[in-house]
Structure 1
Amino acid sequence: MPAIDREQLDHRVEQIYDQVVAWRRYLHANPDLSYEEQPTAAYIMCELQKMDAGGKWLHISQPEGNCIVSDLKGGAGEGAIVALRADIDALPVEELTDVPFASKKRGVMHACGHDTHAAMLLGATKLLLEDAEKIKGTVRLLFQPAEEVPPGGAKMMIEKGCMEGVTMAFGQHILPLEEVPTGTVLVRKGAILRSSDTLHAEIIGRGGHASLPERSIDPIPIACLAVTALQQVVSRRMPPCKCPVLTISAINSSCDTYNVIPDKVTLKGTLRCTDSQVREDANKAIAEVLHGICGSYGATCSFKRFPGYDVTVNADSAYDVGMRVLAQVLPSKDQIVVLPDCMSASEDFSEFAKLVPSNYVGIGCYNAEKGCAAPNHNARFDVDEEAMKVGVKVHFGIIHELLMQ
């Protein structure tokens, strides 16, 4: 099959665009938290069944009640199995946008764009069904729960067999970053997303009266020293070219009054790395710094690391497929933004990428004129819906490149 006819694809995407928007807006108004996505999965199941009313092409299953796996087996014969993935969970955020399709659930919001991910994959499915006779092989559609909360839904889906036989996997994420406005796609060969670990430390002193600090071991100044000293782990203990991101995001004491020195202080934070060895070395150094400072001032410390997601790595072969597709579906090479360094975010798409050659891209959706400029996870996060056209084209293009040639 020849290269993609971009004008024809643009026209086809325009034809289904209103439906893609409708899917997105329904999901946005009806968000589900991680591990609670059963209603979202039921909606997606229903929409897939409507698209393939006779059940000729789609073989839909639910490994768990909150996820969907659908195989589109093409009519051109046996071939490779290529996975397209969209995550579907929302966040515990109270929405502060004024859009008419704002969340109906108090304290729950699609503040990371997973509603658009599901809608874009549904849109691509609609186009692929129109071309099902031309597909040689199988498109595996993965609607994945629980990306936001480790251990994550990807691992569960893999354990349920969703990656059996898959030869390549592709994912995308909507990004409202100024450097990737609507119409652009962010790419990177190799590591594109960092690993993530959650950190929890307790600095244990000896409480007492605020007027007699000498009779106590005050954990608060010790915690302050520890927080600043921990940044030395990043700047002086790790290679500059592989510098991790260490953030202490919460400091809490065991009391909440004015005249009591607390017994302990709790520190919480995250560590994000681009390299597995740096990840281990940094965690070891963090523990050493905490225990060393606490010991110097008569306190003790307990430190726990909760491993999160691994580094997401774009394999050369899958990245090259992605770049060939972008050259066909985007009007200009200027719409391809090559990321010079790994992003600081983390994703459990890494689980798929550890199994098969994979490629993960960012779909730009920044548009300040439309008010789509708030970052992911912000209560005012909104998406320029025009960006979904690009996501649909990228998904479709991957299958055209790999299974329709």
Structure 2
Amino acid sequence: MNLQENIKTLAQKYAPDFVEVRRYLHQNPELSFQEFKTSAHIKKQLQDIGITDFVSVAETGILATVHGHAQGETLLLRADMDALPIQEANSISYASKNTGVMHACGHDVHSASLLLCAKILFELRDRFKGTVKLLFQPGEEVMPGGASLVMKETEYQELGIVPHIGQHVQPNIPVGKVGFCSGKFMASMDELFIKVTGKGGHAAMPEHFIDPVLIASHLIVAAQQLVSRMGSPKVPSVLSFGKVCANGAINIIPDEVTIEGTFRTMDREWRKVALKKLEHMLTSIAEGMGGKCELRINHGYPYLENDKALTEEMKSSAVSYVGQDNVVSLDQWMAAEDFAYYAEKQPACFYLLGVGNEAENITSGLHTATFNIDETALELGGGLMAWLALNHLGQH
């Protein structure tokens, strides 16, 4: 039996065990940087596999090591662990037990897949040279991002420059398929917090007051010029506002309005310029209408750029594992991921694992209360990661 056949056999054999691991994690989700029980469960799973070479990183994270039979290159595989503040609406036997917390972004799947991968790698440790690092990372969903904290740890810095491979579920891709995008793949992300100040009073006498609601409405509309008229159409950019709070009433003009949103792009310099232009535009318009505007920016993750050589290698390896028809070429995606921090410093490949199944009505998007997966995806999720790692080590 060749190596690929061996991996597929083991993935099929052990996948049901790690479906149960995924269900346990799904039932017991924990928010970012609070993954204490999740971390303990993953450590126990590693020990049950036989992997005892692991250390804690970024408090709740885990960096484990699987050694081949001889020295060689090192490669890192990453999964994230945290859940989201969402109340689950699925009627399933393994629905979240924690009120208002849910694995709505598939991090339970990522961790379970990497554990299945770990099981396969450990059983095949006599068949490869080199070292595979398994990173179970906390806090992907909130800034500053667990990746940025992991990278400060001594154990991580001692790795030097090594290939990084990450996997993320995607319900828009049918189960059994995977997707790759070489080069710029995901966007940077900055959080915008705007406070518009006016002078409130009785809505029947607006001439005596400064209406921050009217100012805010002008700001929201005008700000779209940032993307449509100030940015190059060759550079992907998104400006969206998702929260507006004006605590007045039908007959009360409030003193202030707050607006929250996000700016995303795939160009480092344009990101800096755009945010400066946005601040100038907002403050100028507000002042011109008699009010004031303050913009606070939480600078988030950088854009994610997949290393072209590594990604093409991984894509080719995936084709050999699942066939050409099951490997999708992806467009750029304006979502953000803290895996981008690794990709800034390391040769990296971040790809998507299909988990959708229209026939079974498994189609809900990420970050929704009804998100779920076709659990047969776990066999491919764990097996493919093992193949990508060992095929790479074998070629280098």
| Match in the other structure for 2:123 | 130
Question: Matched residue of 1:228: which SS?
Answer: helix
> Which consecutive residues of structure 2, in runs of 5 or more, have no partner in the other structure?
none
Q: Deviations over 1:102-158 (max 9, x none)?
A: 000010000000000000000000000011122211111000000000101111111
| Match in the other structure for 1:213 | 206
- What is the CA distance between 1:401 and its match in structure 2? 1.4
Q: Deviations over 1:250-298 (max 9, x none)?
A: 1112x34332211111110001101111211221221122112112211
| Match in the other structure for 2:266 | 274
2:363 to 358, 373, 386: 373
Structure 1 CA distance for aligned equivalents of residues 19 and 348 of structure 2: 27
Structure 1 CA distance for aligned equivalents of residues 315 and 252 of structure 2: 61
Structure 1 CA distance for aligned equivalents of residues 135 and 333 of structure 2: 24
Give percent identity, aligned residues only: 35
| Match in the other structure for 2:188 | 195
Question: Matched residue of 2:8: which SS?
Answer: helix
Distance 1:142 1:123, change over 3 A: same
| Match in the other structure for 1:295 | 287
Q: Deviations over 1:312-362 (max 9, x none)?
A: 1101221122122112211x212111123x201100001111121000001
Tell me whether 9-18 or 37-46 shows the greater mean CA deviation.
9-18
Q: Which amino acid aligns with 1:59?
A: D
Asked if structure 1 preserves the Cα contact closer than 8 Å seen for 2:11 and 2:380, the reply is no
- What is the CA distance between 1:58 and its match in structure 2? 4.1
Tell me whether 155-164 or 266-275 shows the greater mean CA deviation.
155-164
| Match in the other structure for 2:145 | 152
| Match in the other structure for 1:78 | 71
* 2:51 is the alignment partner of 1:41: no
| Match in the other structure for 1:338 | 329
Taking only aligned residues, the RMSD between alpha carbons, in angstroms, comes to 1.5
Q: Deviations over 1:166-189 (max 9, x none)?
A: 411000100001xx2111111111
- What is the CA distance between 1:163 and its match in structure 2? 4.4
Asked if structure 2 preserves the Cα contact closer than 8 Å seen for 1:124 and 1:393, the reply is yes
Q: Which amino acid aligns with 2:367?
A: H
Structure 2 CA distance for aligned equivalents of residues 163 and 375 of structure 1: 35
2:251 to 252, 259, 262: 259
Q: Which amino acid aligns with 2:353?
A: I
Q: Deviations over 1:366-397 (max 9, x none)?
A: 11222210000000000111112221122111
* 2:81 is the alignment partner of 1:88: yes
* 2:351 is the alignment partner of 1:361: yes
Asked if structure 2 preserves the Cα contact closer than 8 Å seen for 1:111 and 1:376, the reply is yes
| Match in the other structure for 2:24 | 26
Q: Which amino acid aligns with 2:195?
A: E
Structure 2 CA distance for aligned equivalents of residues 107 and 137 of structure 1: 43
Structure 2 CA distance for aligned equivalents of residues 9 and 81 of structure 1: 19
* 2:203 is the alignment partner of 1:185: no
Asked if structure 2 preserves the Cα contact closer than 8 Å seen for 1:58 and 1:73, the reply is no
Structure 2 CA distance for aligned equivalents of residues 198 and 185 of structure 1: 30
Structure 2 CA distance for aligned equivalents of residues 163 and 344 of structure 1: 29
Question: Matched residue of 1:192: which SS?
Answer: strand
Structure 2 CA distance for aligned equivalents of residues 50 and 3 of structure 1: 26
TM-score by length of structure 1 reads 0.94
Structure 2 CA distance for aligned equivalents of residues 33 and 23 of structure 1: 18
Question: Matched residue of 2:151: which SS?
Answer: helix
Q: Deviations over 1:47-70 (max 9, x none)?
A: 100110xxxx54111124411110
Asked if structure 1 preserves the Cα contact closer than 8 Å seen for 2:88 and 2:101, the reply is yes
Q: Which amino acid aligns with 1:394?
A: L
Structure 1 CA distance for aligned equivalents of residues 244 and 93 of structure 2: 38
